[in-house]
Amino acid sequence: MTNPQLSPNFYAVIPAGGVGSRLWPISQPEHPKFLHDLTGSGRSLLQQTFERLAEFLPAECILVVTGEAHGAAVAAQLPGLQPNRLLLEPSPKESTAAIALAAAVLVRENAHAVIGSFAADHLIGDQGAFASAVAEAVKVAETGSLVTIGIAPTHASTAFGYIQAGGALAGFETARAVTMFVEKPDAKRASEFLATGECFWNAGMFVVRASLLLELLAETEPEMVQTVVKLAEVWHTDARADALAELWPALHRVA
């Protein structure tokens, strides 16, 4: 295991959802993209994501949140995933509910928990750079900030959202304040962002104290937070199934 000196309070959450629509017919609802080997490596995208994180995190600090329909396949593909670290949703409610549930479960275990969200279908070639970025993100998150990880752009892509970086954060090697987020722009605006030298592709990864995430989410989605907190209270008990059946269906979807 590569150890980039991560905080013992850090946990990685892998939201593994989807209905298989983007790569149909290769990807299907019962076997979505993250369960496929799309790189010819012999490993699915999910397996590569888990192994990437396991390079610097112990198994008890990696959680996967997925639907009940995919639980058996995920468990089969990830024999190193601890059974109590597989969180199953009765029905898909998009990524926000999945990550919020993981945050609530972790806060009950560790009030100081810091979580990082890492999609199950990313491809990352430079493991060393990834580990270093995560390590710094965790340090910044422990100061009370919500941290997002950006990718240095290589061209004016319209397939990514963009992050405009502001001033450097004192005491950190690469961390900078964020001045603006922009969803996938048109080609002209993407070119303008690239020309500034101050914009990064939005990797869709973030690192934050789990308790802070729930506080921030409660500002716009208080009912969702109340629900996941109630579920977390019984998650590791025999009351979990009944609580899920009662509370989960009422959640609305927030991407």
Distances (CA, A) of 68 to 11, 61, 64, 85, 124: 22, 21, 12, 14, 27
What local confidence, expressed as pLDDT, does residue 248 receive? 94
Chain mean pLDDT for the chain: 91
When pLDDT is cut at 50, 70 and 90, the band that residue 40 belongs to is confident
| Torsion angle of the four alpha carbons 85, 97, 125, 25, in this order, in degrees rounded to the nearest 10 | 100
Distance CA 126, CA 118 (A): 15
When pLDDT is cut at 50, 70 and 90, the band that residue 27 belongs to is very low
Q: Is the peptide bond before 25 cis (omega within 30 degrees of 0)?
A: yes
| Each residue's pLDDT tens digit, 155-194 | 999 999 999 999 999 999 999 999 999 999 999 999 999 9
21: pLDDT strictly greater than 50: no
% pLDDT > 70, the chain: 93
| Each residue's pLDDT tens digit, 111-140 | 999 999 999 988 898 999 999 999 999 999
More confident residue, 36 or 71: 71
Q: How many residues does the chain have?
A: 255
